[in-house]
Amino acid sequence: MNVWPRLLRRKPMEAIAIALIGAGFAMLFQPFMLELYSYSFITLLVGTLMFIVVSKFPE
Amino acid sequence: MLKTPRRLAKKVEGLSDRAVAWLFIAPTMALLLAINIFPLFWAIGLSFTNYRANRPNEAIANVGLRNYERILTDPDIWIAMQTTANFVFWTIALQTVIGFGLAFLIDRKFRGHAFWTTIILVPMMLSPAVVGNFWRFLYQPQIGLFNYIVSFFTGIPPSSFEMLGSVQLAPWAIIIVDTWMWTPYVMLICLAGLRSIPDYIYEAAEVDRASPWRQFWSITLPMALPFIMLAVLFRGIENFKMFDMVNLLTGGGPGSTTEVASITLKREAFEKWRTGYSSAFAIILFVAVFGLANIYVKALNRVKQR
């Protein structure tokens, strides 16, 4: 029996990480709001670290 | 037949295949660690300090996240990021469309296609320093060939516009040069993709009376897509670091119109000597490119599996 929690499976977690990276990337290069630019790096960093970790999770 | 020297054979005799494999990989791993991984961690360490490389004897203070805070609230660096995004978007878009178009034409195998492939590949083989210098001459408003060609086609007097001195035209001048130089690279990767499509698929499509247009959209493009994506990944990573061409052609000017992130980084690191600050900036750029490359590789694998 697979005891790994359903929410912590690779697919949904990877989707969240990818969304964070995408959002961080857009925030870093967008020309509209300086505040968004300021929070871009932390968003990118969390997304990237999360992606590295969750890509090792079971399917 | 060559034999393994007896002394070496004796030494590796008791080793498993895995251990022998590690022995072969070890020198490369050591080199990678020394010239890639160690500087990366060193730069991460420096990014939390006020270290200046031109004052090596000065005491180094830990400034915590202040360098990151300054970079992420600086409107000038924000503008440099937008300039970089603008360059990356336009160069990749143009290089992909033109590169794939050229690959598609070269793949037709017309008479002399090998000769034309070589000719098209020449710009890619030149040094960026050479390319930068001769394009500066080509862009000269008085004697430059570029202005005369534009004048010939549009009727605008050649000395009435300056590609490298105009705020509106300077970014496009660099985009044109980068596209001219690196489109052959994209073409080469796309050509490999097109040549890997087996002929029998087209033959089956012919039997089914699929039109050339339908063959292009249903066979050529989907099967060449992993290669196109790979080319975009390589050029994207490379163009984020675009430095030499911008430095040679405009040096970031006029004003700061063409000041991409790498030019700002160089100024902070080697003109203002703010090593800690510039390390933080380099780490931000690295995380951005690394994060994007991760999801891009994921997308690439998904396309390959289809």
Write out the two tokens for B222.
């989907």
pLDDT of residue B160: 85
- Mean pLDDT computed over B45-66: 91
- Mean pLDDT computed over B111-126: 89
- Mean pLDDT computed over B118-138: 91
- Mean pLDDT computed over B17-37: 92
pLDDT of residue B302: 80
Residue to mutate among A13, A18, A25, A28, with most B CBs inside 10 A, is A28
Coil vs helix vs strand at A7: helix
pLDDT of residue B2: 67
Answer whether B72 touches A (CB < 8 Å).
Answer: yes
Residue to mutate among A41, A49, A56, with most B CBs inside 10 A, is A41
pLDDT of residue B30: 95
In sequence order, what DSSP letters do the residues of chain B get, joined into one string? -----HHHHHHHTT--HHHHHHHHHHHHHHHHIIIIIHHHHHHHHHTTB---TT-TTSPP-B-TTHHHHHHTT-HHHHHHHHHHHHHHHHHHHHHHHHHHHHHHHHTT--TTHHHHHHHHHHHHHS-HHHHHHHHHHHT-TTT-HHHHHHHHHH---GGG--TTT-TTTHHHHHHHHHHHHHHHHHHHHHHHHHHTS-HHHHHHHHHTT--HHHHIIIIIHHHHHHHHHHHHHHHHHHHHT--HHHHHHTTT-STTTT--HHHHHHHHHHTS--HHHHHHHHHHHHHHHHHHHHHHHHHHHHHHH-
d(CA B274, CA B271): 8
pLDDT of residue A3: 67
pLDDT of residue A2: 63
- Mean pLDDT computed over B240-258: 88
Q: Cβ contact (<8 Å) for A34 and B75?
A: yes
pLDDT tens column, B165-218: 889 999 999 999 999 999 999 999 999 999 999 999 999 999 999 999 999 999
pLDDT of residue B296: 83
The shortest CB-CB distance from B72 to any of A22, A38, A47 is to A38
A1: pLDDT strictly greater than 60: no
Which residue in chain A is spatially nearest to B69 when comparing CA positions? A38
pLDDT tens column, B71-85: 999 999 999 999 999
d(CA B164, CA B30): 44
Compute the nearest-CA separation of A9 from chain B (Å): 16
pTM assigned to the model: 0.84
pLDDT tens column, A8-25: 778 888 899 999 999 999
pLDDT of residue B69: 95
Q: Cβ contact (<8 Å) for A48 and B82?
A: no
d(CA B102, CA B124): 14
B1: pLDDT strictly greater than 70: no
